[in-house]
Amino acid sequence: MTERLARRIGKLLSDSSSEEISVECCDLLRDDLSGMTIDDETIVVIGMPVYVGKIPLPAIEAIEQISGNGAMTVAAVSYGGRSYGNALFELKTIAEDLGFKLVGAGAFLISYMAIRGSSNSMNPSLDLDSMGDFSRAVSDKIKRLSGTEIEEFRMKPAPVEVNGRMPVHKISRLSPRAAEIAQKVFERISLVRRSSEWFL
């Protein structure tokens, strides 16, 4: 579902541009990222799933192979309607440390509940309305930044405010039993969010 989320945001952003933009997708865990060039002409959409309120360690290790080179970047996490915990903050912080210039961040709900009357009711569905609103807002922001005459604002947009803290434990280094316990504790202590949220 995260792949669909990232692809969709990428397509919405390219559709909203008046210029011809080529869209390339890559899988952080499967593709060879060594030949990838990212520069200040690139707009990057990074999608990651939320596992136990965090982003998975293999995804972090993969993205750490890439340098952001100042490219305008959108961070998006998909989550299953319990809580996205610190995952969005974590992704934003890691991306910024790698030199990506964040212009928007969003946590998008994946609904596994049956959609009444739909023949696809057993399929998970993406929150398309929020994704559409978010992509339009990001696109407007990118146009404003690109058109701005003051170099400082173009190079260093106001920080995207996402609340959270960096997790202490990396969940994929825990045993399955410990992960299960961590998930239960996490669910008990976290504030449930049942809608998508995004920040510019």
Chain contacts with ligand FMN (rule: CB under 6 A): 1-2, 49-53, 78-85, 110, 186
Please say which residue, 139 or 196, places its beta carbon nearer to ligand FMN: 196
The distance of closest approach from Cβ of residue 56 to ligand FMN in the complex, given in angstroms and rounded to an integer, is 8
| Partner residues linked to 77 by β-bridges | 48, 107
The strand ranges marked E within 80-188 are 101-111, 125-126
Q: Which residue minimizes CB distance to ligand FMN?
A: 80
How far apart, in whole angstroms, are the C-alpha atoms of residue 146 and residue 13? 14
Please, are residues 196 and 76 in contact by the beta-carbon 8 Å criterion?
Answer: no
The distance of closest approach from Cβ of residue 31 to ligand FMN in the complex, given in angstroms and rounded to an integer, is 16
The distance of closest approach from Cβ of residue 86 to ligand FMN in the complex, given in angstroms and rounded to an integer, is 10
Among 103, 110, 143, 118, residue whose Cα is nearest residue 8: 110
Which tokens hold the place of 67? Answer: 């340098």
The distance of closest approach from Cβ of residue 116 to ligand FMN in the complex, given in angstroms and rounded to an integer, is 21
The distance of closest approach from Cβ of residue 74 to ligand FMN in the complex, given in angstroms and rounded to an integer, is 17
Please say which residue, 79 or 89, places its beta carbon nearer to ligand FMN: 79
Please say which residue, 155 or 189, places its beta carbon nearer to ligand FMN: 189
Please say which residue, 85 or 106, places its beta carbon nearer to ligand FMN: 85
Please say which residue, 78 or 139, places its beta carbon nearer to ligand FMN: 78
**What is the DSSP annotation of 124-139?**
-EE-HHHHHHHHHHHH
The dihedral region occupied by 52, where left means phi > 0, alpha psi between -120 and 50, and beta the remainder, is left
